[in-house]
Amino acid sequence: METQEKKSVKPTRLKPGDTVGIVAPAGPFDPEKFMKGRVVLESMGFRAVFDETIFQKRGFLAGTDVQRADQVNRLFADSTIQAVACARGGYGSMRILSFLDFATIQKNPKIFVGFSDISVLLSVFHDRCDLVTFHGPVVTTLADAAQETIAAMQWALTSDTPLELVPENGMVVRPGLASGLVAGGNLTTLCHLVGTPYAPSFKGKILLLEDLGEAPYRIDRMLTQMKLAGCFNGIAGLVLGSFEDCGPLSEIYVLVGDIFEDMNIPIMAGFEIGHGRRNIMIPLGLGATLDTGKERLLFHEPAVRK
């Protein structure tokens, strides 16, 4: 595990006045929510900048694949940008993977924030570029975010203290203690990477999963597919975030317990991570310990460097 943790590259922490560039790598978005979210970013003390091309629409996408990838490439190459935030998830991130300049991204490690469909980029940037990425709000969800979400985001991006998550309504599905790099994100999105050259490896890692609007049988089907594909072989532990509008949580926890029944790993649910109004930002690609006895996920070091 130590070798893996040393491999991860932490981006530089933000300070007041730093510039956050906004990209739209997936779907189009509500301009009004976007502007409200931008104001929230600026209220944290950062400058928020964007190119007008992010407002383009091409059906269910925010512009062509090349245009959306170019936005990401340009912001990582731009030395005046200290962090990159995504306007919205939706769908489309996996379509830009073959157009991304991973060499430039690796040479210019920056804070990269998003969730939902953006899970594709969070995972691939760590796998291909060794970059610690951030599973957290997109700009449009900041517009109506709970104050805890906003405070947690600002703290994660600026603090020199390791993050500790203790969910208010934590649920221990299977007790235990495990350490490893934290990885994962949106279940549906990660499931669609199976069989592609971009499918992440979760071996030795604490896997985070969350989702929105998926019936329990579909969650079961995706988990079963990933299990049969070997995606869960050797994982250290499992953390469940929010499963909004996915049916009774008790049913989801039972089916998760069934899927992972033959694996001796700790499983804890109830973390406020994902599509709920509270979406607490956490780093991916950074070492942590899942301790169900203390009902917490404790990161071993700060997510950002000075």
Over pLDDT 70: what percentage of the chain? 98
pLDDT at 7 > cutoff 90: no
Which residue has 């579909």 as its token pair?
218
What pLDDT is attached to residue 186? 98
Q: What are phi and psi of 245, to 5 degrees?
A: 55, 40
Catalytic residues: 116, 210, 275
Over pLDDT 90: what percentage of the chain? 97
What pLDDT is attached to residue 119? 97
Each residue of 152-191: pLDDT tens digit? 999 999 999 999 999 999 999 999 999 999 999 999 999 9
Q: What are phi and psi of 3, to 5 degrees?
A: -60, -40
What pLDDT is attached to residue 260? 98
Segment 253-273 shows an average pLDDT of 97
Each residue of 203-249: pLDDT tens digit? 999 999 999 999 999 999 999 999 999 999 999 999 999 999 999 99
Is residue 277 very low, low, confident or very high in pLDDT (cuts 50, 70, 90)?
confident
Angle between helices 249-259 and 216-228 (to 10 degrees): 20
| 296-299/171-174 β-pairing | unpaired
Nearest to 21 by CA among 90, 82, 99: 82
| Mean of the per-residue pLDDT values of the chain | 95
**E strands in the chain:** 19-23, 47-50, 83-86, 111-114, 133-135, 164-165, 171-174, 177-186, 206-212, 237-244, 267-269, 282-284, 287-291, 296-299
3 state SS of 282: strand
Domain coordinates of the chain in residue numbers? Answer: 2-158, 164-299
Reply yes or no on domain 164-299 having CATH 3.50.30.60. Answer: yes
Which CATH number does 2-158 carry?
3.40.50.10740
This prediction has a pTM of 0.95
Is residue 4 very low, low, confident or very high in pLDDT (cuts 50, 70, 90)?
very low
What pLDDT is attached to residue 5? 43
Cα distances (Å, whole numbers) of residue 91 to 208, 239, 306: 20, 24, 34
2-158 and 164-299: identical CATH topology: no
pLDDT at 2 > cutoff 70: no
pLDDT at 133 > cutoff 50: yes
